[in-house]
């Protein structure tokens, strides 16, 4: 009888979090650090490391840059055991107003960035026989939301990618899951969920509150740990009961 794969050591390994400079990504990175992981985060532009989180600059929409980053982390920090594909962008417009460049940017960051990061890290995880891949989906992929068509399409792709890869990696000791946030209050959304828009959003949430980055981070920490060893190919929704 086979048993759950064992970690290479008793000390949590390196966790790589993309889009870790702010918002959900920052909270996820900090929560993983508190859980004992050595955390390396990445984001666009100039980044600043903080307690428990070493930051690197990387554009996840560039496959070559992703591979260079992963190679450097493996050489300098150690084996990446947890990958959190959090980097994402949203262009909130009617489809007819989206330019081809905007649509391509959303797909490249949200979907292709997830695939490229997972390919670079997952190849190493499967060779070592252990790993956790956690990607950010969204309730827009299944529920739908006006003016988010390109974003919803990219997140739907993340869900399909997650479920397919989970079957590919399961026997190699690597779990692959996604987290689908609902309406989350961040620095980027604070000015969006106000007035009539805020009232309309709140009316959709049975829990009668917006989610927080900490709500999402708690689910990621669970999926990154040993307690989730028999959970793979799942999309875990954190939305206060919206869907």
Reported pTM = 0.93
* Residue 17, both tokens: 């979090």
The answer as to whether 36 is a domain residue is yes
**Which CATH number covers residue 123?**
3.40.50.720
The answer as to whether 168 is a domain residue is yes
* Residue 119, both tokens: 């390919």
Over 80: is that where the pLDDT of 72 sits?
yes
The answer as to whether 196 is a domain residue is no
The answer as to whether 83 is a domain residue is yes
CA angle 69, 86, 26 (to 5 degrees): 90
The answer as to whether 164 is a domain residue is yes
Please tell me the distance from the alpha carbon of residue 107 to that of residue 111, in angstroms, as a whole number.
Answer: 5
The answer as to whether 207 is a domain residue is no
Give the pLDDT confidence of 125-155 residue by residue, as tens digits: 999 999 999 999 999 988 887 778 899 999 9
The answer as to whether 131 is a domain residue is yes
Q: Which domain holds residue 175?
A: 14-186+212-237
Residue whose C-alpha is closest to residue 5's, from 210, 147, 171: 171
Over 70: is that where the pLDDT of 88 sits?
yes
The answer as to whether 193 is a domain residue is no
**Catalytic residue list:** 151
If one counts the domains in the chain, the total is 1
Average pLDDT over every residue of 37-43: 97
Average pLDDT over every residue of 228-239: 97
């Amino acid at each position: 009888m086979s048993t759950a794969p064992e970690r290479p050591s008793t000390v949590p390994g390196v966790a790589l979090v993309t889009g870790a400079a702010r918002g959900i990504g920052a909270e996820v990175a900090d929560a993983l650090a508190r859980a004992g992981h050595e955390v390396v985060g990445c984001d666009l532009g100039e980044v600043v490391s903080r307690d428990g989180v070493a930051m690197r600059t990387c554009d996840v929409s560039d496959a070559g840059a992703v591979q260079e980053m992963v190679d450097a982390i493996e050489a300098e920090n150690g084996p990446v055991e947890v990958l959190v594909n959090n980097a994402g962008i949203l262009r909130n417009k009617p489809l007819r107003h989206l330019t081809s460049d905007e649509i391509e940017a959303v797909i490249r960051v949200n979907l292709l960035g997830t695939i490229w990061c997972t390919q670079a890290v997952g190849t190493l995880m499967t060779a070592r026989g252990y790993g956790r891949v956690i990607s950010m989906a969204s309730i827009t992929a299944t529920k739908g939301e006006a003016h988010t068509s390109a974003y919803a399409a990219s997140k739907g792709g993340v869900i399909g990618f997650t479920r397919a890869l989970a079957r590919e990696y399961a026997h190699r000791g690597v779990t692959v899951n996604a987290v689908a946030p609902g309406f989350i209050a961040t620095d980027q959304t604070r000015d969006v969920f106000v007035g009539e828009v805020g009232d309309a959003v709140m009316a959709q949430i049975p829990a009668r509150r917006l989610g927080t980055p900490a709500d999402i981070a708690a689910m990621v920490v669970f999926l990154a740990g040993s307690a989730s060893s028999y959970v793979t190919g799942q999309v875990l929704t954190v939305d206060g009961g919206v869907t």
